Amino acid sequence: MNQLSVVQTFISRFFILLLSFALVIFSTNMWGSEGKGVISIVVANSAIIGFFSNIFAGSSISYFTSKYQTEKVLLYAYLWSVIIGIVGPVISCALFFESKYLVYLIGISVLFSLLSANINLFIGKRDIKKYNLYTILQQLIHILFIIVLIYFLNEKSVEVYFIAQICCYGFLFLLSSYGILKHLNLNQISFSKEIIFSIFTYGWKSQLSAFIQFLNYRLSFYFLEYYIGISYVGIFSIGVVFSEAIWTVSRSLAVVLYSDLLNNTNTEDIISKTKISLKITFLVTLFFIIGIIFVPNQFYIFIFGKDFYQTKDIILLLSPGILAIAVSNIIGFYFAGKNKLGILNLKSIFGLAITISFSIYAVPRWGILGACVVTTLSYCASSSLLFWKFYQLTKFRMSDYFISKTEINTVLNKFLKK
């Protein structure tokens, strides 16, 4: 694994973490718990639509970039992104979503999917530097557009968040497309049923797992909105923000591991790198969780507002599940790179079944705290299944659970050298 890529990815993720927190703090103070709840629901709906778009525009782009002509892979991704980005929000609003946000949902869905296609192309080409750059810019430029709309154009409604997001995605898509398209031979563009079938087959399998896992992450939002109100979604979402912040380490390692795996045929080498990544992720994630738990509750109230007095309790209850998912992210990317997507689907379905069955009982009775307990139970159970499957397919040693001094020194020396 390229240690420089890991360090760059971790630094970029950490910078994204800071920007995300700045955005969360601003939005909670600007629009309150109810406004934060609206933002969380709209973003969750756009993410659900994004999973369907990513059948062609997601990890399938990374996987097939080295196997087919880039021109053809991108063509299908762009067309699919536009179609799903329009049809998905219309269906969503017709079934259960407020139509007043339809235009924003279409804009976000289409442009984010188009941008995702370009960003995932960078992973397939092992251009981790550009991947990190555009990932950071999504947060940074979004914040800049919000500042312009609020402080220069005097727009104060919660819709500002979505307008800024649309402008951000549109700008970055055009910028990244310029760099990509100038290297393509547009005369090579043509339709191939074989390529479409291959991409679709891989794409829907990978996205099915990701979509079901996303429901594990976000289904509590919908249970909370249905049973106790939109403002509680905003309060609970702060705990989710901390969860995803802590997952920075595992996702940094996992992205580089996945890119390396796609271009590496040495199975033993990849398994060894995966196990080392697991141990590093466990220790660093545990360190961050302990640090956040020791932060006084008054700090969260001061930062986010008086409505968020339960933030520390939420993080404490979510922490076992946060640790479990952080470590299992590494294994998930290993199976994705080996095209063993059925295992990921099984893991996600298992977790979703737990989330649905227990949320119906726990959320109406215990509210946010009930949602936390169910979420943690789902995370731990589904992660345990993935660990079991991983060690069924690989050689198991007790040393896999302990990081050695040699491994620590090797990693530190390479990082410091880079």
What is the rounded distance in angstroms from the CA atom of residue 377 to the CA atom of residue 355?
A: 8
Render pLDDT for 216-259 as a digit per residue (tens, 0 to 9).
777 888 888 888 888 888 888 888 777 777 777 666 666 666 66
Render pLDDT for 175-218 as a digit per residue (tens, 0 to 9).
998 878 777 776 666 677 788 888 888 888 777 767 887 777 77
Render pLDDT for 364-402 as a digit per residue (tens, 0 to 9).
999 899 999 999 999 999 899 988 888 887 776 666 666
What is the rounded distance in angstroms from the CA atom of residue 163 to the CA atom of residue 299?
A: 31
Cβ-contact 380, 245 below 8 angstroms: no
Cβ-contact 331, 278 below 8 angstroms: yes
Higher per-residue confidence, 61 vs 141? 141
What is the rounded distance in angstroms from the CA atom of residue 238 to the CA atom of residue 74?
A: 36
Three-class DSSP labels, 293-329: HCCCHHHHHHHHCHHHCCHHHHHHHHHHHHHHHHHHH
pLDDT of residue 410: 53
Q: What tokens appear for 375 in the block?
A: 């979420």
pLDDT of residue 150: 94
Render pLDDT for 86-104 as a digit per residue (tens, 0 to 9).
999 998 877 766 677 889 9
Q: Calculate the CA dihedral of residues 233, 235, 239, 245 and round it to 10 degrees.
A: 90
Arithmetic mean of pLDDT over the chain: 81
The dihedrals phi and psi of 125, each to the nearest 5 degrees, come to -90, 5
What is the rounded distance in angstroms from the CA atom of residue 240 to the CA atom of residue 44?
A: 12
What is the rounded distance in angstroms from the CA atom of residue 132 to the CA atom of residue 8?
A: 8
Cβ-contact 59, 117 below 8 angstroms: no
Single pTM value for the model: 0.71
Residue type present at position 212: I
pLDDT of residue 9: 62
What is the rounded distance in angstroms from the CA atom of residue 74 to the CA atom of residue 51?
A: 17
Cβ-contact 172, 57 below 8 angstroms: no
- The CB density around residue 117, as the number of other CB atoms within 10 Å, is 27
Residue 292 is given by DSSP the state H
Residue 188 is given by DSSP the state G
What is the rounded distance in angstroms from the CA atom of residue 63 to the CA atom of residue 11?
A: 25
Residue 152's pLDDT band, with cuts at 50, 70 and 90, is very high
pLDDT of residue 28: 86
Maximum mean pLDDT: which of 44-48, 139-143, 231-235, 279-283: 139-143
What is the rounded distance in angstroms from the CA atom of residue 46 to the CA atom of residue 221?
A: 14
Mean pLDDT of 54-71: 79
pLDDT of residue 87: 94
Higher per-residue confidence, 179 vs 412? 179
Render pLDDT for 300-334 as a digit per residue (tens, 0 to 9).
888 887 878 888 889 899 999 999 988 888 888 77
pLDDT of residue 173: 95
Q: Which residue shows structure tokens 């500042």?
A: 147
Q: Calculate the CA dihedral of residues 96, 100, 103, 105 and round it to 10 degrees.
A: -40
Render pLDDT for 258-303 as a digit per residue (tens, 0 to 9).
666 666 666 677 777 777 777 777 887 888 888 888 888 888 888 8
| Inter-CA distances, 221 with 43, 218, 226, 231, 246, Å | 11, 5, 9, 10, 20
For every residue of 120-157, DSSP letters joined together read HHHHHTT-HHHHHHHHHHHHHHHHHHHHIIIIIS---S
Residue type present at position 296: P
What is the gyration radius of the CA atoms in the chain, in angstroms? Answer: 21
What is the rounded distance in angstroms from the CA atom of residue 80 to the CA atom of residue 65?
A: 17
Higher per-residue confidence, 398 vs 355? 355
Query: Cβ contacts of residue 127 below 8 Å, gap of 6+?
Result: none
pLDDT of residue 416: 45
